[in-house]
A and B are shown apart, each in its own frame.
Chain A
């Protein structure tokens, strides 16, 4: 990395170029992440939104080089401060982990070692990476715990994870992730396992820490609500592909991808009156072993046309807003497409929005 430092100032903190990750399985190759590119600057937050199987978690782990070597194919570039780390071996990566990139996981109970004291879990990586002595490591650990809002940090150092509540455990995993002062923090569904009031606390904490440390963050979530208020840019993933990518305000203000639109419409909203009929998305996410030809979302899309079932749309981009659709939302062609589908005697088996629930997710 020392060679790269001269241009480190000019290059963005993290740049991912055409990253693809595939798994070889006994049933064939699964393209879990397909041709993903983005740029992340210091202090910025990128939200990655998708359902289970959309590839969002694999993407995060792929960038960090946390996937096993066996049966995993990674292609493309991961430029960290201008240096391509994709070819790094595990030993080289271990210098990056913790000190440069760190990760907070979904389930704090399984990402903490239940039989190791909290203090030890924090100080271990401090001593490993920074080579500080025991007393200093303990002092740092105490300070970290205080920073992440854990009361009585000195006492907590000698406690075990099970003695803490879920929210407190997640604070500990954040403290561990921050121990060596990473510049990019990957937060993979950091609040999914937590209660809504605790979720708000943890997200606020991440916000504050990010600001204080001028850290970049990649926030992976299935919840559009979580990413809406906490990110600068959002990538919506579906079936391993980025289907929409834009700055947060642009994305929510001007949705182009039918999948994003459908997702926003299908979630119950607190401001809607009780018993508001939900516009469910029929069907279910694509099978990545044999993805549909054409657009991945076409079989579930209310705007679907012949072309969508045959030809795969490219990721089109306009003023920094990219989408993967032949008939983007808000255009005339889309309105026509919908009108055609809603007209009586539609040949394509697309359910009208109202009758969707009875179709089932087969």
Chain B
């Protein structure tokens, strides 16, 4: 039986599981890692003075490209109704016209303009992406914070629920919900996909709430007389938001792709009423071999680029806002 030290009772043991080995050879790699930390320590020697010499953190050119592209997509999606573009549902020409100066992205199998459908499709796709992660994020954060900060029975119950939720195959779960509600609107699809995001978000938030809840600054705040709400708002959430944000950005991208997946199964937003990138890609499937690959490929490419831009800029923002602890 290990002798638990009363001084540390109630605190989790240091998580040094990946730290080391007794073998000399592995010891060396450990030291190599350790010295990365030594370098950090050296850097920390005098942050005051280093500050002057430290090059300002930069986001970099690629970030602005990526962010610019993403913002463009968002702006176009929002302003679509006022843009001088054609009606996405209207047949404007012959079917399957290759991209040209009149139809920049060509026309689809029914003769609708793909360019304007991509812009209108962005509305639905982005809406599903944001709404689902907003839903998943809010519910997941609430669950995660409750479990990780309050601990005790609340934690046990909530985390078992999350484990159950996680053990369903994600798409199957979304599928069941869409099927069950039998309505294929942006809202139901978002809730379905958002539900899938609840469990991973909750786990991430709980893990962070656990870590930060144990920090001395939280204890200090309690000893100062701060109530739980204030501690959560001032001390814990600000430390959870950054990892949550970078997770959410990736989750939005995943949700947008998942919407495409649901479209493939015919379980996403009705193609007849609303264009989404997902159902556009699906509708182009038969034409892939019929000499009109752009019907599918163009929305695919836009989806791909948007997701890539989102992931990349999300990563950079996370690095940029990272605060060194200690």
Contacts and interface: CB of A to CB of B under 8 A. Distances in A.
Interface of A: 23, 25-28, 30, 32, 52-53, 57-58, 61, 66-68, 71-72, 90, 94, 97-98, 102-103, 109-116, 120-122, 124-125, 128-129, 162-165, 173, 176, 284-290, 362
A290 B2 contact: no
Contacts of A61: 31, 35
Contacts of A94: 24-25, 28
A102 B24 CA distance: 9
A62 to B, nearest CB: 10
A128 B35 contact: no
A126 B13 CA distance: 30
Nearest to B44: A53
Given A25-B42, A68-B32, A287-B48, 5 more contacts: A68-B36, A110-B30, A111-B20, A114-B19, A128-B24
Contacts of A90: 28
B160 interface: no
Given A23-B42, A27-B43, A288-B42, A124 B22 contact: yes
A102 B3 CA distance: 29
B42 A53 contact: yes
Contacts of B23: 121, 124-125, 128
B21 interface: yes
B322 interface: no
Contacts of B39: 23, 25, 30, 71
Contacts of A129: 24
Interface of B: 1-3, 13-14, 16-17, 19-28, 30-32, 35-36, 38-39, 41-43, 45-46, 48-50, 53-55
A127 to B, nearest CB: 10
A289 B22 CA distance: 34
A284 B46 contact: yes
Nearest to B36: A68
Which residue among A61, A165, A173, A287 has the maximum number of chain B CB atoms within 10 Å of its CB? A287
Given A109-B16, A112-B20, A113-B21, A53 B45 contact: yes
A80 B39 CA distance: 27
Contact of A128 (B25, B31, B38, B42): B25
Contacts of B43: 25, 27, 289
Contacts of A176: 22
A116 B21 contact: yes
A298 B146 CA distance: 54
A284 B48 CA distance: 12
Contacts of A362: 48
A179 to B, nearest CB: 9
A347 to B, nearest CB: 24
Contacts, number: 116
20 contacts: A25-B39, A25-B42, A30-B39, A53-B41, A66-B31, A67-B32, A67-B35, A68-B35, A94-B28, A97-B28, A103-B27, A109-B16, A110-B16, A111-B30, A113-B19, A113-B20, A113-B26, A173-B22, A286-B46, A289-B50
Nearest to A166: B5
B28 A285 contact: no
B22 to A, nearest CB: 3
A115 B13 CA distance: 14
Nearest to A61: B31
B202 to A, nearest CB: 28
B324 to A, nearest CB: 14
Contacts of A26: 55
A68 B24 CA distance: 15
B43 to A, nearest CB: 6
B45 A288 contact: yes
A103 B24 CA distance: 9
Contacts of B27: 97, 103, 111
A285 B45 contact: yes
A125 B28 CA distance: 13
B22 A112 contact: yes
A64 to B, nearest CB: 9
Contacts of A284: 46
Contacts of A173: 22
A344 to B, nearest CB: 31
A340 B45 CA distance: 31
A97 B41 CA distance: 26
Contacts of B41: 52-53
B213 to A, nearest CB: 23
Contacts of A115: 17
Given A66-B31, A110-B16, A30 B25 contact: no
A72 B26 CA distance: 20
Contact of A110 (B19, B25, B38, B46): B19
Contacts of A112: 20-22
A101 B309 CA distance: 51
B45 A110 contact: no
Contact of A27 (B1, B24, B38, B53): B53
A70 B37 CA distance: 14
Contacts of A71: 39
B28 to A, nearest CB: 6
B319 to A, nearest CB: 14
Contacts of B31: 61, 66-67
B292 to A, nearest CB: 51
Given A58-B38, A286-B46, A287-B50, A98 B16 contact: no
In the A-B complex, the 4 residue pairs with the smallest Cβ-Cβ separation, listed nearest first, are: A121-B22, A287-B46, A113-B21, A68-B32
Nearest to B48: A362
A310 to B, nearest CB: 19
B90 to A, nearest CB: 56
Given A27-B43, A30-B42, A289 B53 contact: yes
A58 B45 CA distance: 14
A92 B212 CA distance: 45
Nearest to A24: B39
A10 to B, nearest CB: 29
A287 B25 contact: no
A32 B42 contact: yes
